[in-house]
Amino acid sequence: MVEEFIDDNSGEFKKTELWRKLPRKVMWQTFQVIMTYLEDTNKSVYDQEGNVVYVWNPKLAAKLRNKPDLRWNPE
């Protein structure tokens, strides 16, 4: 739910604003864990104003995975 909300509202809210605007309430600690996961997996970043931006592009990732000159670090 959080990831989908960020994707739909990419670049509109700062982290705390985003948490307050979620369609269902989530505990702050849980929200922090989700945000850390999204940052660590390169699905979200922060712009210069501190707004949360969703950057994950599965079509591009699938295309890049087929490039023989790129190596992926499986975790």
In a domain, 70, yes or no: no
Task: Decide if 55 is inside a domain.
Answer: yes
* 37 domain residue, yes or no: yes
Neighbouring CB atoms inside 10 A of 51's CB total 17
* 8: containing domain: 2-65
φ, ψ (nearest 5 deg) of residue 13: -130, 150
Residue 73 domain-assigned (yes or no): no
pTM of the model: 0.76
Residue 36 lies in a domain: yes
Q: Would you say residue 75 lies in a domain?
A: no
- What's the residue count for the chain? 75
- Within-domain flag for 11: yes
pLDDT digits (tens, 9 = 90+) for 23-68: 999 999 999 999 999 988 889 888 888 899 998 887 877 776 777 7
Contact yes or no for 54/44 (Cβ under 8 A): yes
- What total number of domains does the chain contain? 1
